[in-house]
Amino acid sequence: MRPIKLMMQAFGPYADTEIIDFSKLENRTMFVISGKTGSGKTTIFDGISFAIYGRASGDDRVGADLRSQFAQDDIATEVSLEFSLKGNTYYIWRSPQQEKKKSRGEGFTIVNAKAELFIIDPAGERKLLAANVRDTDEKIKEIIQLDANQFRQILMIPQGDFRKLLTSDSKEKEAILQKLFHTELFKQIEEKLKDYANRLKREVELGITERSRQLKNIVYKDNEQLDEALLADHLNDTFILVLLDDLIIEMEKEIELIKHKMEQQKIIRDDAKRHVDAAEDLLKQMKIRDQLIQQKSALLNKESEIIKMKKEIEMAYKANKLQHQEELCQRLKVDLDQFDSRLKNEKDQLASFEIELEKANERVQLEERHAGKRDQLYSELTRLKNMREDVISYESRKGNVKKAEQKLRECQTQITYEKKKLDEKTNEIKEQETKVKELEKLQIQTFEMDKKVTKLEAVLQYLQALNGFTDKEALLEKKIKIKKSELEHAKKVVDDAKESLKVLENQWIAGQAGHLAASLVSGQPCPVCGSIEHPHPSTNTNVQIDENDIKSAKENVESAFSYHSNIEREWLKMGAEADLLKNQIIDTLNNTLNVIPHFSIAEKDIFLLDYEQEIAKTKDSLSDYKSKLKQIPTIEKQVTQLTKEIEEGRLIVERLQETERKLSILHSESTLILENLIRIIPENLRDINKFDIKVQSIENEINKMDDALKAARESFAKISEQVAGTKGMIKNLQENLNTVTESLNIERNIFLEKLEEQNFTSFKHYRDSKKSTTEVNQFDDIIRNFYEELRSIIDRLSDYESRLENKDEPDLDRLHIEFEESEKLYQLLADQFSHLNIQIEKNNEIKKAVTTINQQIKHLESEYELVGHLADITRGQNTYKLSFERFVLASFLDGILDAANARLTKMTNGRYQLLRKKDRSKGNIQSGLELLVFDQYTGQERHVKTLSGGESFKSALALALGLADIVQEYAGGVSLETMFIDEGFGTLDPESLDQAIEALMDIQSSGRLVGIISHVPELKERIDARLEVFADHNGSKTEFQFLG
């Protein structure tokens, strides 16, 4: 990515529109951004970053905070960037979410963030790629192939972020290098292996589940070993298969036993079946014998009918000899009737045709008389077709006139509306100016009222203070009274404690005297007075007071004294406070009387309430006045805006009036053309649809007349042919009729002669004796069948009577019962055999299925052993905690470090060299992309985080330059044509600074653009291109400056 032009408006310190044209650098590939602190140098990086990603270059600046505080309310914050990438030029524009002043009324409204992205073709035309924030974010990431964080770590390194790429952990570096070198394929390989291993593992688990399901479906009964094995949490399939083999063997033995029983029972059942079949056959024969006896009797009863039928057949044969002659006569009679009927029909048809021929001749003559009208219609049709273009033009011209009228009316309405708006705004200006004058008068009243409020508030303070003091005095007097009662009580407690102590001391002394008297011996000295005589010794020896009682009583006295002293101090303190409060009341009262001579302390609450109400009322009025006075700038601004709008409105009216003049001319011209067309086209034909209907109507009428003439002529010719044909047909029919009549008379005489020869008394006798061949054949069949059936029945009856001689009727019900019982027993054994056979087959299927599953599981486990191992290795579960993709990225990183070390060695005089940390990390954290530094001075490696500020900067700079070199070398999807660096050079000593500059100078040959923000004078002197940022009270401006 290489910037071409950056535009910032109301962005950061840039109040107006600021354009930075990077094309001014021409062939220069390095420039310094210089300016005072806070002038807006870093904001340039923010602008580029915000334009591309919608985020600033630093995490502490968000879109809403980037709006310029110098900008006017009506200027929106927006940023655009034109940049080139891989031979294409793009333009991106963004506007953050911000507050916008309302167009009407006061206050602000929230405007949501917006964004647009274009590609610019060689002709300079912009083609839209994205039109909203979400689409623009997705498209720009697709184009640049880096997200905002990666962009900051690689291309734009802001303040405080320069060391992030250097010191980031393996995971962060992995995300960056993935994008740069497109190693997604290796990640996909990892995921494919992982998915494959998981699939194999799932298949093994499913196989184990299916095996368990199969084993639990084993059919058995009364087998404790299988019960125990199948109820276990983890099924031992090997042991269960052994038990299953034993079970199948036992079941096969059992089924052989059942099979043997079935064979024996089958013999018994079949013997019973044979007895049943023999009995049923005997009963059947007896039944047939009885039926034959009945059939023989029935046939003998029909023999007289058969004899009569034989006589009828003889006469039928005689009649059959005359049938041919009869049929010949009938055919001739039919022909005669047909010829006669057809002759009559043809004569009727001829008469009808002659009538129709006359009518057809009349129609032809009628249609030929319409020739003149047909010519007129042809002329009218030609004239209308020539007029069609004018009708079409009429519709268009009519629409143009209406549109012109509409536009003219709209323009006139707009002129009226704009003039009305001008009048309203002019009146509004007068009203606002009048309002300003009135408000200016309020300023003096506001000043006087402000002074009044100050004076009233001073008096109110006295009243409030006096009220507070008197309230405190009343409260304090109550407290003093209570405290005095407490003091009197405390004094009584002291007196009681002292009296109790005195009583105890006297009792203790008396008790001690009694004990001493008890120990006196006459003639021996008293230990107290030394007297050897003891005339009155104490006799009080029952008092049990010891020193602890005395000590406790003394402590009570001390406690009482302490309590009394505390109460007394508090009481004296309250008294002093009361005296001070009285002095404050007197002072405040005097001050109050100075401003309110008629003030009475008894009425202080009334005075306080009056003054509070007066102040509140006055403040309300003052607030109202001030609120009105605040309107003056707004009104003045409105007047200015209205003046500007009036001027713009006058220009609008002038433009509208010019438009009205042009529209009026256009309307007149269109109307003139339309009127000419109205004169040409009849009113009823001005609509194109009606016109086309009229033309079609004429064409239809012409076609109808032509069709009618043609049809009349064709009809006349057709009927003429029909008349001629009918006359010929009548002549032929008459000749045929005469011939058939003569033949019929001859054949009738022959038939009558033959009728007498066959002994038929009459034609009726002949007709009744006639029978068809089918009827004769049927009668012959009936007679023949009768005698054959009678002979068959007699023969069969004789056979059955001989077979059933001396045979008794069997007991079929008993035989059936015996057979059914044997059949039930056999079926019971068959069911047992079938059920057990099914169980054996199912158990064999389970055995086969489990064996197959075990083979599949074995194969899958063997495959999983390899694939799972590869998946674990590629995912970093190996000695070095290095995934497959990270291994590839590590090789790229090694190349980057080689390129970086070439520069770092120069910048550190050969002291430091960057290394990739190859030792595995602790725990399960994947590693392989973290960096170490080798120090030639100590000969040891250490983490890059231990480098000083300057050393870190040089290392990070070398790493960034090396990264750009390698990425460009591999020519991947990411293009690193630009690098921006914000600060960092200030941490370098002069020698290191020279070395860093030299390293940056070395990359100019690659054409890469490097922009640096720095305050270091040496850097400014060494680089001939500077982007100076100037700041003043109106905001910041930029300017490119070139040395030499």
- 80 forms beta bridges with 7, 93
709 contacts: CB under 8 Å, gap ≥ 6: 364, 367, 368, 370
Helix (H), strand (E), coil (C) string for 880-931: CCCEHHHHHHHHHHHHHHHHHHHHHHHHCCCCEEEEECCCCCCCCCCCCCCE
State the Cα–Cα distance between residues 839 and 251, nearest whole angstrom: 9
What does DSSP say about strands 912-916 and 931-935: parallel, antiparallel, or unpaired?
A: antiparallel
State the Cα–Cα distance between residues 1043 and 31, nearest whole angstrom: 11
State the Cα–Cα distance between residues 947 and 956, nearest whole angstrom: 11
State the Cα–Cα distance between residues 666 and 660, nearest whole angstrom: 10
Helix H or strand E encompassing 371: helix 371-518
Closest CA relative to residue 1041, chosen from 1021, 1026, 1020, 1019: 1026
Name the phi and psi angles at 908, rounded to 5. -115, 15
Name residues of the chain where pLDDT drops below 70. 57-65, 103, 105, 107, 150, 153-165, 180, 443, 512-523, 525-544, 546, 920-927, 968-976, 983-988, 992, 1003-1006, 1044
Q: What is the DSSP letter of 808?
A: P
Domains of the chain by start residue, with CATH: 323-369+690-757 (1.10.287), 372-631 (no CATH)
Both tokens assigned to 6: 């950056």
- CA end-to-end span of the chain, whole Å? 29
Contact 144, 1 (CB under 8 A): yes
User: What pLDDT is recorded for position 94?
Assistant: 93
The amino acid sitting at 602 is A
Closest CA relative to residue 468, chosen from 604, 283, 287, 336: 604
Contact 166, 956 (CB under 8 A): yes
- 1013 forms beta bridges with 33, 982
Torsion of CA 921, 922, 925, 929, to 10 degrees: -10
What does DSSP say about strands 1009-1013 and 940-943: parallel, antiparallel, or unpaired?
A: unpaired
252 contacts: CB under 8 Å, gap ≥ 6: 840
State the Cα–Cα distance between residues 477 and 1019, nearest whole angstrom: 81
Closest CA relative to residue 49, chosen from 112, 99, 3: 3
Both tokens assigned to 747: 């054949």
Contact 1030, 1037 (CB under 8 A): yes
User: What pLDDT is recorded for position 164?
Assistant: 66
What does DSSP say about strands 1035-1042 and 1025-1032: parallel, antiparallel, or unpaired?
A: antiparallel
Contact 964, 29 (CB under 8 A): no
Hey, is 319 helix, strand or coil? helix
- Beta carbons within 10 angstroms of residue 160's beta carbon: 13
Contact 952, 163 (CB under 8 A): yes
Contact 325, 770 (CB under 8 A): no
User: What pLDDT is recorded for position 842?
Assistant: 92
Closest CA relative to residue 1031, chosen from 1039, 1023, 1042: 1039
CA atoms within 13 A on the CB side of 136: 23
Both tokens assigned to 269: 């059942």
State the Cα–Cα distance between residues 429 and 640, nearest whole angstrom: 9
Tens-digit pLDDT profile for residues 323-351 = 777 778 778 788 888 878 887 887 888 78
User: What pLDDT is recorded for position 971?
Assistant: 46
User: What pLDDT is recorded for position 9?
Assistant: 92
What does DSSP say about strands 78-85 and 88-95: parallel, antiparallel, or unpaired?
A: antiparallel
Helix H or strand E encompassing 941: strand 940-943
Name the phi and psi angles at 33, rounded to 5. -100, 120
Helix (H), strand (E), coil (C) string for 565-606: HHHHHHHHHHHHHHHHHHHHHHHHHHHHHHHCCCCCHHHHHH
857 contacts: CB under 8 Å, gap ≥ 6: 204, 207, 208, 211
